[in-house]
Structure 1
Amino acid sequence: MTQAGAHYATPKQPTGWTGWVAFGGIMLILLGLFQAVEGLVAIFDHGYYLVTSAGLVVNVDYSAWGWLHLALGILAVVVGIGLMTGNKVARVAGVIIAALSAIANLGFVAAYPVWSLLVIALDVLVIYAIVAHGEEMTLTR
């Protein structure tokens, strides 16, 4: 016997948009690997980039930039793996890591402009995928 006027919610079903979240997770892993490589290059080969560290937005030694990129890269790989499993904490951390990555690359744009702008654009796509459709990944488990 049901109560008059009672509404029962049908369970949410995952849609095709879970592909965006999978894309976001895979891209976060790849961006993390690329960030780590960029960081290692900045740490070990200061002459590789187009300008000296004085020509960057923030006048910091390339070793400091390298460690920042390396740390962001490692975190992005870990969070990307968590995002692929549908972890809610990884969704929040993924948005934060992608935003920090975009900001770090904005400061690094003078040293490697095309690459930095590409990473920023991919970070924005990752943020969109996580924010708009991140909840659906938990429905597939």
Structure 2
Amino acid sequence: MAQPSTPAAPRVPGGQHDSRSAWAAGGTMFAGVLLLVDGAFAIIKGITSIAEDEVYTRLGAYVFKFDVTAWGWIHLILGIILVVVGIGVLKEAGWARALGVAFAACSIVLNFMWLPYTPFWAILSIAIDVFIIWALCTDTDRYPTPAV
């Protein structure tokens, strides 16, 4: 009876398997899921900020002073974009990888500016975004590099 074939890790010169590519490929799919999760977090932050100004309190004086409702709209719009890009990454759409990196970078900046309101969740979102950028930038086998 024939055994079902499983995809092998890419071979490198010398006949060895490149386990880094396998990790990066799995990381890309995980990055797609994390984009969805990060987008959901941003949507929740946005909705709670828009609905009730008193949900978040600011810790001390801070340079990036915006109305919490304005922050809510920023997070809501970013969250929707992250969810759409996450779906694109999971469907292996070529446009999604570059946009995933770009919007994860925007999310890092916005969450840094959001630190005084929810430090723990902002740091968690920054860590998720850093992993997303790493995973999308290291997996070059799944997405063809555009010709320059």
- Please give the alpha-carbon distance, in whole angstroms, between the structure 2 residues aligned to 1:108 and 1:83: 26
Identify which of 105, 110, 114 aligns with 2:116.
Answer: 110
Q: Secondary structure at the match of 1:114?
A: helix
Identity of aligned residues (%): 35
Aligned to 1:33: 40
Equivalent residue, structure 2, for 1:136: 141
Q: Considering Cα pairs closer than 8 Å and 6+ residues apart, tell me whether 1 or 2 has the greater RCO.
A: 1
For 1:50-61, list aligned pairs within 5 A. Answer: 50-51=57-58, 55-61=61-67
Matched, 1:42 2:55: no
SS of the residue corresponding to residue 43 of structure 2 reads helix
Distance of 2:42 and 2:123 partners within structure 1: 13
| TM-score, length basis structure 1 | 0.82
Provide, for residues 16-74 of structure 1, a one-character-per-residue CA deviation record: whole Å limited to 9, x for no partner: 2311000100000110011000011111111111218x844411111111000000000
Note the 1:63-74 alignment, pairs <5 A: 63-74=69-80
Decide which structure has greater helix share: 1
**Which portions of structure 1, spanning 4 or more consecutive aligned residues, are displaced by more than 4 angstroms?**
12-15
The amino acid of 2:136's aligned partner reads I
Unaligned runs of 5+ in 2: 1-8, 12-20
Contact 1:56/1:108, CA 8 A, preserved across alignment = no
Matches of 2:82 and 2:32, distance apart in 1:
9
**Aligned-partner SS, 2:142:** helix
Q: Which amino acid aligns with 1:110?
A: P
Q: Please, what TM-score do these two structures have when normalized by structure 2?
A: 0.78
1:69-88, aligned counterparts within 5 Å?
A: 69-88=75-94
Structure 1: runs of 5 or more not aligned: 1-11
After TM superposition, give the deviation of residue 116 of structure 1 in Å.
0.3
Match of 2:126 in 1: 120
- Select the residue among 12, 22, 45 that pairs with 1:16: 22
Number of aligned residue pairs: 126
